[in-house]
Amino acid sequence: MVQPRSTASGRPSRKQLIVIACLIALGVVAGAFILRSGAASKSGEGAEGHAEHSETAKAEGKDDGHGHGEEGTGHAEEAPKGPNGGQRFTEGDFGLELLLVEEGGVPRYKAWVYSKDKPAPLEGNEVTLSLVRPNGDTQEIKLTPKNGVLSSEQAVPEPHVFEATVAVQTPTEPYLFTFAEMEGKVEMTEAQIQAASITLETSRPASIRSALQFPGEIKFNEDRTAHIVPRVGGVVDSVSANLGQKVKRGQVLAVVSSAMVSELRSELRGSQQRQALARTTYEREKTLWEQKISPEQDVLQAQQTLREAEISVANATQKLLTLGASTGSSSLGRLELRAPFDGIVIEKHVALGEAVREDTTVFTISDLSNVWAELNVPARDLSQVRVGERVVVRAGASDATANGTVSYVGSLLGEQTRTASPRAMCFSMTMLSNGARSSSRPREPLLVDAPSVSSFCVALATEISASYRLCRACSTSCSGEIFCSHSVFSRS
């Protein structure tokens, strides 16, 4: 019986190895195919879902594309541009390009007309723009042919924030287009406003004052400054007032002995004695006449003598009062120099025993509770200075200030300086000043707080649905508009 031979050490044969390798290769290929088919299936489902989501979003009025609606910052669709860089409007074969340009710092609109995408003649085409700004102001702008382009003669003032209607009348038919210009427009939601710490307030009409600054000089109030003179010659007997001393009205400043005053007092006393004698004589003669003892002629003569004596007394009294002398002094030659009002002695030119003349200024007294500030105002600013306006005077050498009002505005200019000298009444005393005048202006249509104003613009906010539109402040009436008074971007 023959025994079969066994394989050496149980190793697989070559054929078995080939079969195993083929099976492994088939498995790898099959696995790769399965993985690719699964990924493709998922991708198809995702694309289909995204398409369905897009259709749903469009049906709800939303845009979920790259721009993510109006609030997106991605690839939002821009308005078509013309060859000159302006907005392009088309209807059928007709086309219009509109561009806002600045020529010499003045913004104006220019337009080009096209027919079948080719430039068309400008003659016979009338283009009119109607602008409506956020505050309701309107402006109508007509474009006329000039240098091969339709151009507006009217300027388009800042801010360039408005809704516009373009009316075009061609030789054949009219066209109407609309667009909105929102230069510098920013839309913010309530959450963004709160995050930026923006505060919104309402504008209001109010008076605004502007200040002009002029050099000036403080002077004594000439209406409250007195030069004390003796009015008669004499010798100074006593001096009771010193330089810089505050004096009251009627206070004795000095005493002068005068021979003329002595003569006038003597004349007064003589007249008074004659008056007393004439009165006694008249009364006696009147009594005798009433008793039928004395004739009436004696009574009339005594009455005439009494009247002449009274006139003499009145004349002597008036002479003394004119010289500033009292009528009841015990000393005939005594003349008292008194202060005419409350003030300060700013000049003193008298000494004890000095002989003074009738026209010598022995004292100068001024009321320094109010002084004059004379400002040097150039001719170009003179029209802005008006009587009754508030003035703040600042001393050039110190921090002293004084308040007052303009009391006089001269209309004459200095021959050399070509400046006028308005006068302000102030209520304190400094020696030299720089005058800063505050000029009252009419009630302005729009008032916002100073911190709200930056070097760029003031933001007006108009509520639109759930967001706020911020734009530059209008130069016309905007009372009642909401403006941004504070934000994290505000400048100090």
Residue 57's pLDDT band (boundaries 50, 70, 90)?
very low
> What are the DSSP calls for 390-444, one per residue?
EEEEEESSSS-EEEEEEEE---PPPTTT-EE--EEEESS--SEEEEEEEEEEEEE
For residue 51, pLDDT beyond 80: no
The one-character DSSP state at 73 is -
Task: Compute the average pLDDT of residues 132-142.
Answer: 90
Q: Which residues pair with 482 in a beta bridge?
A: 202, 461
For residue 326, pLDDT beyond 90: no
Task: Compute the average pLDDT of residues 294-309.
Answer: 90
Class for the domain spanning 222-257+333-366: mainly beta
Distance from C-alpha of 461 to C-alpha of 467, rounded to nearest angstrom: 10
Output Rg (C-alpha) for the chain, integer angstroms. 52
Class for the domain spanning 211-221+370-445: mainly beta
| Predicted local distance difference test score (pLDDT) of residue 185 | 72
For residue 4, pLDDT beyond 50: no
Residue 167's pLDDT band (boundaries 50, 70, 90)?
very high
Distance from C-alpha of 344 to C-alpha of 371, rounded to nearest angstrom: 13
Closest CA to 445 of 417, 418, 474, 469: 474
| No. of helices (H) and no. of strands (E), the chain | 4, 30
Residue 207's pLDDT band (boundaries 50, 70, 90)?
low
Q: Assign 3-state DSSP to the chain and report helix, strand, coil percentages, each to 5.
A: 25, 40, 35
Locate all alpha helices (DSSP H) within 103-197, ordered by sequence: 190-195
Tokens 């240098």 — which residue? Answer: 147
For residue 6, pLDDT beyond 90: no
228 within 8 A of 464, measured Cβ to Cβ: no
For residue 317, pLDDT beyond 70: yes
For residue 139, pLDDT beyond 80: yes
Summary mean pLDDT of the chain: 75
- C-alpha 195, offset from chain centre: 32
Task: Compute the average pLDDT of residues 192-196.
Answer: 85
Task: Compute the average pLDDT of residues 24-28.
Answer: 73
**Per residue in 216-227, pLDDT tens?**
888 888 889 999
The one-character DSSP state at 71 is G
Residue 466's pLDDT band (boundaries 50, 70, 90)?
very low
Indicate the domain borders of the chain. Answer: 87-182, 186-203+448-486, 211-221+370-445, 222-257+333-366, 259-332
Name which residue leads in pLDDT, 411 or 110. 110
Residue 300's pLDDT band (boundaries 50, 70, 90)?
very high
| Predicted local distance difference test score (pLDDT) of residue 275 | 92
Name which residue leads in pLDDT, 69 or 328. 328
pLDDT over 90 percentage in the chain: 27
* First-last CA distance in the chain: 118
Can you tell me whether residue 34 is helix, strand or coil? helix
Name which residue leads in pLDDT, 1 or 227. 227
Tokens 């004059």 — which residue? Answer: 372
CA distances from residue 344 to 225, 251, 348 in whole angstroms, order as listed: 10, 12, 11
Distance from C-alpha of 23 to C-alpha of 18, rounded to nearest angstrom: 9
| Predicted local distance difference test score (pLDDT) of residue 483 | 54
| Predicted local distance difference test score (pLDDT) of residue 424 | 66
| Predicted local distance difference test score (pLDDT) of residue 408 | 79
Per CATH, the number for 87-182 is: 2.60.40.3340
CA distances from residue 97 to 81, 84, 90, 182, 385 in whole angstroms, order as listed: 8, 8, 9, 18, 51
